[in-house]
Amino acid sequence: MMIELGKYATTVMSAYGVTVLLLAVIVVQSLWRSARVKRALAAQEARMEMKSNG
């Protein structure tokens, strides 16, 4: 499966590695924050709902 990269194997691999890693960081951060805010908003809305219903 692995292709021949020659003497620059580490160079190419590390460039792809860095890219994937950084993209993963921003994707995970976006998803994580999205989930957190969504949860907080749902909790807040539920709490205010309860209050207004007495």
Amino acid at 46: A
Q: How far is the CB of 21 from another protein (least distance, A)?
A: 9
Q: Is 23 among the residues that bind another protein (CB under 8 A)?
A: yes
Tokens, residue 49: 């709902």
For residues 15 and 39, give the distance between their C-alpha atoms in angstroms, rounded to a whole number.
36
Question: Can you tell me the distance from the alpha carbon of 5 to that of 15, in angstroms, rounded to the nearest whole number?
Answer: 13
Stretch 3-22: interaction string toward another protein, x if CB under 8 A: xxxxxxx-xx-xxx-xx--x
Q: How many residues bind another protein (CB under 8 A)?
A: 33
Q: Name which of 23, 42, 44, 45 is nearest 34 in CA terms.
A: 42
Binding positions for another protein, rule: CB under 8 A: 3-9, 11-12, 14-16, 18-19, 22-23, 25-27, 29-31, 33-34, 37-38, 40-41, 44-45, 47-48, 51
